[in-house]
Chain A
Amino acid sequence: DAGVIQSPRHEVTEMGQEVTLRCKPISGHNSLFWYRQTMMRGLELLIYFNNNVPIDDSGMPEDRFSAKMPNASFSTLKIQPSEPRDSAVYFCASSPQGARGYTFGSGTRLTVV
């Protein structure tokens, strides 16, 4: 079991650029989550997918953020255009249907300068 795989691990980009974060959930897990972690706000749920369908995107901060899950083994979180306040660690997590608690990836540390 390779766990939840995220790429890249680190991303530094200039303000205004498009950023795409990638996630491969654990095989067989049909729930996928994107979280953001900052010192000020802690861990925040951005969006939740179930069986590749977005169920709850109420945590997505604004229209600059979008997420897709084209199939059961891949998801992306895109920020366009990026801003310095988007700097944070972004985590992807997955779980089997109905499980309580989920498995996190190692995260992508995003720095927007």
Chain B
Amino acid sequence: GQQLNQSPQSMFIQEGEDVSMNCTSSSIFNTWLWYKQDPGEGPVLLIALYKAGELTSNGRLTAQFGITRKDSFLNISASIPSDVGIYFCAGSTSGTYKYIFGTGTRLKVLA
């Protein structure tokens, strides 16, 4: 199926560092979601974005809905070991149920 491109695919960072990742699409989306998946578990919703330019935070996480509506960004400040996992973006063109998921960014934090 169709997927969104996420970058980087994986990254190792030191504890305390800030992290940035992004998601790009050839299609315009009306809603962007960011999920985190821990090993052996289902994805957990972190942040939802509803309009172009929107900037939303959830604790140390901040996500932005790109102005072009074809991209989105996620930043994690002052990373900690429990930030380890796979981060997925998901976009919807209809703003309803059908989301296309990104390829994922695997984050590893070195203590």
Contact = CB atoms under 8 A, between A and B. Distances in A.
A100 B51 CA distance: 13
A48 B31 contact: no
Interface string A13-33: 000000000000000000101
Contacts of B103: 42
Interface string B75-111: 0000000000000101010011111011110000000
Contacts of B90: 101
B48 interface: yes
Interface in B4-50: 31, 33, 40-45, 48, 50
Interface residues on B, range: 20 to 34
B1 A91 contact: no
B62 interface: no
A42 B42 contact: no
Nearest to A9: B40
A42 B90 CA distance: 12
A58 B5 CA distance: 22
B98 A56 contact: yes
Contact of B42 (A59, A98, A107): A107
B40 A106 contact: yes
Interface residues of A, number: 25
B3 interface: yes
Nearest to B99: A45
A67 B57 CA distance: 37
B84 to A, nearest CB: 18
A100 B42 contact: no
Contacts of A104: 42-44
A110 interface: no
B104 A100 contact: no
Interface of B: 1, 3, 31, 33, 40-45, 48, 50, 88, 90, 92, 95-99, 101-104
11 contacts: A33-B97, A42-B1, A45-B99, A93-B42, A100-B48, A102-B45, A104-B43, A104-B44, A106-B41, A106-B42, A107-B41
